[in-house]
Structures are given as C-alpha cells and as structure tokens.
Structure 1
C-alpha cells in the first residue's frame, strides 16, 4: 500500500482502523495468555493464586547499629546515606563509636 497516494481523510480513517485493530489484538493476546496460565496451573494442581504468590523467605528488617545519644528514637542501620542527625553529630566532634548501640 502506497500511503503517499492516500488523501488525509483516508489516512485518518486508516489510522483509526489500525488503532482499533491493535487494541483488539492486544485484548486477544491477553485472553490467550490468561488461558495458558490457568491450564499450566491446573496441570500442576495449583491455583492461579498459588502460581502468582511470592516465593522465598521474607527478609527481616535490619537492626539499627547507631542511636542518637540524646534522642533514642533516632536510629540508623548503617546502610545507605548517613542521616542528617549523624552528620551533625560527626561534625560536632562525635565519632561513630560514640553512636554505636
């Protein structure tokens, strides 16, 4: 098809038809994939929820290693960027050992 020979209204109609066809095919592809997933789950005696459930062990939170000496609710694990309160205490002359829990 030589698009350069089409008039603007014909191109707009073609564009609209193309967008509708793409949506229809995407819908059909999703339906097909859902059916395949259900069939695979049934083959192994599983529900779809079982297949999609997260697996593995859950990670427990990392315990804090540092605590503000005057405000014990302020803690830090030592991972990531230093919190502002840690930076301020270090700038005032404290050491990381002073903040260790």
Structure 2
C-alpha cells in the first residue's frame, strides 16, 4: 500500500495519523490481553494462581526538574544542581582552595 502523501490535505493527513495511532493502540491492547490470558491459563494448568497488575504510569523520573543548588558568584549564568559531574568552573574554584559551601544558593 503505497500512497503519495503529498496529495492529501493537512487535515486528511492528521486524521490518518490519528486513526493509525488508535488502531496501533488497539492492537497493542489486544496483544497484551492475549498474553495475560495465556499466562493465567499456563499458571492454572500447574495449579498456580497469578494476579497481574497493570502499570499505568511510566516508572522513573523522566523529565523531572531538579532545583539549582550551586551558582558561580562571578558568572551568575553558571549553575549546577549538585548532580552528576562537577562543572569545570566549580572544579577550578575548588582547586584554588575555596569551599563548595561558598557557592550554595541561599548560603
């Protein structure tokens, strides 16, 4: 099924995409139901009772913002949350013998 998508209007393309996404979600949901039913059937065949809980929210902190904890007093655009590797500006200041507490916000 090859189509020349340039022939369709924006609204027609948007509608096609929406319909395709809905169809894909339905296929995934049906496949999930089939797998869950098969697992329960196999478990029952060996005398085991299983309870399958569906996870509805993604696990993890994807996209969460962390507040800034440190800032360079000589260049206020240079900030660090305290996570990950220390930025070069902070490493250089610490190597000069300065204390990291000097650069904490609210200190």
Q: Same fold (TM over 0.5)?
A: no
Task: Determine which structure has the larger strand proportion and give its number.
Answer: 2
Structure 1-normalised TM-score?
0.45
Structure whose residues are more often helix by fraction: 1
